[in-house]
């Protein structure tokens, strides 16, 4: 949760100031961040249960925020609660006579993001504190106006602030990571449908029986690639393969069983696959678990599946990749990685108490760093290595691991095919052969860090990560 508390003095009597600050219906008349604001019933006197709808501008977008008046002590205090798909806000506004005349205005506000988005709270704190200060200054300026009318325009800083904050997050995260971001960017691509003939290319996809892995397999196999589907459960793997085979007659599909968290399994898989050239290796298998689990090797499960297994398989296949023309390695990371800085000890040991979303984000951060390191190593041998963020896609994994998140964001989520688009593009498009360790979303390299986040790692820590992976995988 992000909390802000501000106090200032306005030169007008408390009654008039309260009238101004307690009404969320007319913020747009003075706050340039708010495109529109309206009470649902503008003719009714302000009372508990009143509702106001705001459209808040951020980065050129207008994002809705619906408010309800929870408490009202006329002339003294108003508490509004705002909500949209991704965030909730509580604004507590008090006014009282100032000792030297005029009115003291206290404003306290709390903003929290819902579900796993709460991981972004820390990143957002500085930006939103700045927005908060700007908004309070704007209110203070409005209230300093000696011509403040007895029946002032209805406006308040509180909704404006949190509307801005929430819309900042919405504009930056939800539409961008959800389907709207994909749909908007797709319009700018030269080859949106990936018009490719991949015959003769052998592509390994881990976690291929479900969600993004299945959609990636479909995208690549339907363009002629031989896709090796790596699945941990032979029954689920075979069913997925059979379904795809009947959907795509003539598709070249084969099945390999391996648990990506079990190092013996991964080593054996690597030796089987290394017998022929590999044109692309997609590290897609992954899961967010809510309890500490250890693999048979004794490693924390999330770390083993997302980091150690992929590292070992890349090592096992480096010759097969380097021996194939124009080959690729793709790490399917996550936007959750933006919330964490590399911390090798936490990555290895998990967190105490265990926090699945954070542990997952640590592993996804490590994948991005590993991809860069692998790129340095394999790039000179003709292998393009990249990591990517699929956005938020509606998959069995998201539904099972994050039901609350799925419920609130369902309308915005991508299809698995939309989420898998950049995976397939990185694995196969000629444009992506230039990938050199970058982190991609919607076919474009992105920064690995959000502005103002302190998530950059030192070369020494990155070296430690590499050495740990090498040591634990017996490389």
Ligand X SMILES: NC(=O)c1ccc[n+]([C@@H]2O[C@H](COP(=O)([O-])OP(=O)(O)OC[C@H]3O[C@@H](n4cnc5c(N)ncnc54)[C@H](OP(=O)(O)O)[C@@H]3O)[C@@H](O)[C@H]2O)c1
Would you name the residues annotated as active-site residues? 360
Q: How far is the CB of 239 from ligand X (least distance, A)?
A: 10
Cα–Cα dist 344/461, whole Å: 7
Please give the residues from 146 up to 185 whose contact with ligand X meets the rule CB under 6 A: none
Cα–Cα dist 345/352, whole Å: 12
Long-range CB pairs of 297-300, under 8 A, 24+ apart, other chains included? 297/262, 297/263, 297/264, 299/261, 299/348, 299/472, 300/348, 300/349, 300/350, 300/359
Q: Does 6 bind ligand X (CB under 6 A)?
A: no
Cα–Cα dist 403/119, whole Å: 16
Cα–Cα dist 105/44, whole Å: 25
Q: Using CB under 6 A, which of 204, 321, 332, 428 touches ligand X?
A: 332
Q: Using CB under 6 A, which of 157, 163, 175, 261 touches ligand X?
A: 261
CA 190 to chain centre: 26
Q: How far is the CB of 206 from ligand X (least distance, A)?
A: 6
Q: Does 227 bind ligand X (CB under 6 A)?
A: no
263 token code pair: 């190092």
Nearer to ligand X, 124 or 393 (CB): 393
Region from 106-114, 349-357, 396-404, 442-450 binding ligand X, contact rule CB under 6 A:
396-404
- Positive or negative, the Cα torsion across 356, 170, 364, 396? positive
Q: Does 120 bind ligand X (CB under 6 A)?
A: no
Q: What order do you get walking across the sheet with 202-206 strand by strand? A: 252-257, 226-231, 202-206, 280-283, 327-332, 383-388, 436-441, 444-446
How many CB atoms are closer than 10 A to CB 445?
15
Region from 57-65, 210-218, 313-321, 428-436 binding ligand X, contact rule CB under 6 A:
210-218
Peptide bond preceding 353: is omega within 30 degrees of 0, i.e. cis?
yes
Q: How far is the CB of 423 from ligand X (least distance, A)?
A: 8
Cα–Cα dist 387/445, whole Å: 9
Q: How far is the CB of 307 from ligand X (least distance, A)?
A: 11
Nearer to ligand X, 156 or 284 (CB): 284
Q: Using CB under 6 A, which of 35, 245, 287, 289 touches ligand X?
A: 287
Q: How far is the CB of 260 from ligand X (least distance, A)?
A: 4
Nearer to ligand X, 156 or 340 (CB): 340
Q: Using CB under 6 A, which of 3, 191, 233, 264 touches ligand X?
A: 233
CA 122 to chain centre: 14
Q: Does 259 bind ligand X (CB under 6 A)?
A: yes
Pair 50, 44: CB distance under 8 Å:
yes
Phi, psi of 242 (to 5 degrees): -60, -45
Q: Using CB under 6 A, which of 305, 307, 313, 359 touches ligand X?
A: 305
Cα–Cα dist 343/300, whole Å: 14
Q: Using CB under 6 A, which of 50, 212, 221, 384 touches ligand X?
A: 212
Q: How far is the CB of 220 from ligand X (least distance, A)?
A: 15
Nearer to ligand X, 254 or 458 (CB): 254
Q: Does 404 bind ligand X (CB under 6 A)?
A: no
Q: Using CB under 6 A, which of 419, 425, 438, 442 touches ligand X?
A: 419
Please give the residues from 355 up to 394 whose contact with ligand X meets the rule CB under 6 A: 390, 392-393
Q: Does 406 bind ligand X (CB under 6 A)?
A: no
* Nearest Cα residue to 388 out of 327, 448, 428, 431: 448
Q: Does 284 bind ligand X (CB under 6 A)?
A: yes
Nearer to ligand X, 14 or 116 (CB): 116
Binding positions for ligand X, rule: CB under 6 A: 206-207, 209-213, 232-233, 236, 259-261, 284-287, 305, 332, 334, 390, 392-393, 395-398, 419
């Amino acid at each position: 949760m992000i909390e802000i508390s501000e106090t200032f003095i306005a030169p007008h009597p408390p009654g008039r100031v309260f009238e101004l600050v307690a009404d969320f219906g007319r913020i747009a008349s003075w706050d340039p961040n708010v495109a529109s604001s309206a009470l649902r019933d503008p003719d009714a006197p302000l009372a508990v249960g009143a509702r106001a709808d705001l459209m808040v501008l951020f980065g050129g977008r207008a994002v809705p925020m619906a408010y309800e008046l929870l408490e009202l002590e006329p002339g003294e205090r108003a508490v509004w609660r705002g909500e949209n798909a991704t965030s909730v806000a509580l604004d507590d506004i008090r006014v009282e006579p100032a000792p030297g005349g005029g009115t003291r205005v206290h404003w306290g506000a709390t903003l929290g993001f819902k579900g796993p988005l709460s991981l972004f709270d820390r990143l957002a704190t500085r930006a939103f504190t700045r927005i908060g200060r700007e908004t309070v200054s704007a209110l203070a300026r409005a209230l300093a106006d000696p011509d403040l009318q007895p029946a002032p325009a209805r406006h308040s800083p509180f909704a404006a602030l949190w509307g801005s904050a929430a819309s900042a997050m919405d504009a930056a995260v939800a539409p961008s990571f959800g389907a709207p971001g994909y749909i908007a960017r797709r319009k700018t691509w030269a080859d949106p449908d990936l018009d490719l003939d991949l015959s003769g290319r052998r592509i390994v996809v881990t976690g291929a029986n479900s969600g993004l892995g299945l959609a990636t397999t479909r995208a690549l196999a339907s363009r002629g690639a031989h896709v090796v589907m790596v699945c941990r459960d032979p029954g689920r793997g075979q069913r997925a393969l059979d379904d795809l085979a009947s959907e795509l007659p003539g598709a070249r599909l084969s099945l390999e069983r391996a648990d990506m968290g079990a190092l013996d399994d991964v080593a054996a898989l690597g030796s089987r696959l290394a017998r022929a050239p590999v044109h692309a290796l997609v590290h897609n298998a992954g899961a967010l678990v809510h309890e500490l689990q250890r693999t048979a090797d004794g490693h924390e499960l999330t770390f083993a599946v997302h980091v150690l297994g992929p590292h070992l398989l890349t090592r096992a296949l480096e010759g097969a990749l380097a021996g194939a023309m124009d080959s690729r390695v793709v790490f399917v990371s996550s936007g959750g990685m933006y919330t964490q800085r590399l911390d090798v000890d936490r990555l290895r040991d998990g967190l105490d108490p265990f926090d699945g979303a954070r542990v997952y984000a640590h592993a996804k951060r490590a994948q991005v760093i590993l991809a860069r390191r692998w790129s340095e190593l394999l790039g000179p041998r003709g292998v393009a290595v990249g990591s990517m963020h699929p956005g938020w896609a509606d998959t069995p994994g998201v539904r099972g691991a994050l039901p609350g998140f799925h419920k609130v964001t369902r309308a915005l989520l991508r299809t698995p095919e939309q989420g898998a688009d950049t995976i397939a593009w990185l694995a196969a498009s000629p444009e992506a052969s230039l990938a050199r360790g970058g982190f991609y979303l919607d076919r474009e390299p992105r920064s690995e860090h959000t502005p103002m986040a302190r998530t950059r790692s030192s070369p020494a820590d990155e070296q430690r990560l590499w050495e740990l992976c090498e040591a634990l995988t017996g490389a």
